[in-house]
Amino acid sequence: MITRLLVGALASLLIGGAAYRRRSLTWSGWLGAVIVGTLTVGCGGWLWGGLIVVFFVSSTVLSQVGHQRKAHLSALLWEKGDQRDFAQVMANGAVPTLAAVGYALWPQPAWWAVALGALATATADTWATEIGVLSSRPPRHMITLQPISAGMSGGVSPLGWLASLLGALLIALAAWLGHLLGWGIPLRTRAWVPLATLAGGFCGSTFDSLLGALWQVAYWCPQCDQPTERHIHRCGAATTYYRGLPWLNNDVVNALSLLAGAGVALLTYALLG
């Protein structure tokens, strides 16, 4: 474990540093990446840490696709910029990290199910956002099905759904292959691994959209006359409360959706494992 902790710390320092230089992470986001990378590799093992890398690298690469359009949406709608800070990193990494610590203390396959569901949710949701906002068709509100602005929480599109499914599928295939090659832990049956991962990721991502549509906090810019997740709009005007629960921002929604995805994956493991 000591060796894995050191390797995890070094790898996350290097990968996080590269992301910081590319302006994908803030300083605090880099710190969060080091914490997540060190503990997942040290406590969970090589495959556990490798899946974190798959999520992080794939999401970082996709964030550069259509960067100008996303920068515009970031300034217009999103609460934070396109650089991930500590809260954003931990919202996506806390559940698999805590599962890795739990596995180190009590090595049971159920911890793997929790981590896989959470990681697949994080990947599916990130892919849905990074690719879905590039759709030529406007997204629709998940509940009312009315067209809404691209990038607003609670919006869904066929391209976003497909991206979500592909993101979850990537983690499912990587986890299944890793276990087949013996990089994970001995399992009585491996059939549940891709199924639990895919189910957890897709359901968790869908739950994220549902929370965004129903209860995530949103604000209104009186000067631009449009909704946003920002307290200060890009025009410089202070926004006012519009809808949702004041404490339920995007980071909290992400964390809750990861818990939901982990729960679905754990249930699938209980049924099939």
* Phi, psi (degrees; rounded to nearest 5) at 240: -120, 155
Residue 83: partners with Cβ closer than 8 Å, 6 or more residues away: 23, 24, 25, 26, 29
Is-contact 203 168, C-beta < 8 A? no
d(CA 123, CA 64): 16
Q: What is the domain extent for residue 200?
A: 2-272
* Phi, psi (degrees; rounded to nearest 5) at 151: 100, -15
- Quick one: pLDDT at residue 80? 61
d(CA 264, CA 129): 21
CB atoms closer than 10 angstroms to residue 89: 25
Distances (CA, A) of 268 to 91, 198, 203: 23, 10, 12
Residue 15: partners with Cβ closer than 8 Å, 6 or more residues away: 33, 37, 53, 56, 57
CA angle 253, 255, 260 (to 5 degrees): 90
Per-residue pLDDT of the chain (273 residues; tens, 9 = 90+): 889 999 999 999 999 999 899 888 999 999 999 999 999 999 999 999 999 999 998 988 888 787 666 666 655 566 566 678 999 999 999 999 999 999 999 999 999 999 999 999 999 999 998 898 888 888 898 999 898 877 778 889 999 999 999 999 999 999 999 988 888 777 777 789 999 999 999 999 999 999 999 999 989 988 888 888 888 877 788 999 999 999 999 999 999 999 999 999 999 999 987
The tally of domains found in the chain comes to 1
Residue 262: partners with Cβ closer than 8 Å, 6 or more residues away: 95, 99, 113, 114, 115, 117, 118, 121, 200, 204
Decide: helix, strand or coil at residue 130: helix
d(CA 183, CA 63): 29
Decide: helix, strand or coil at residue 25: strand
Q: Which of 7, 130, 13 has its CA nearest to residue 65?
A: 130
CA angle 225, 230, 231 (to 5 degrees): 90
- Quick one: pLDDT at residue 186? 73
The pTM (predicted TM-score) of the whole model is 0.91
What does the block give as tokens for 20? 């910081």
Residue found under tokens 């549940």: 192
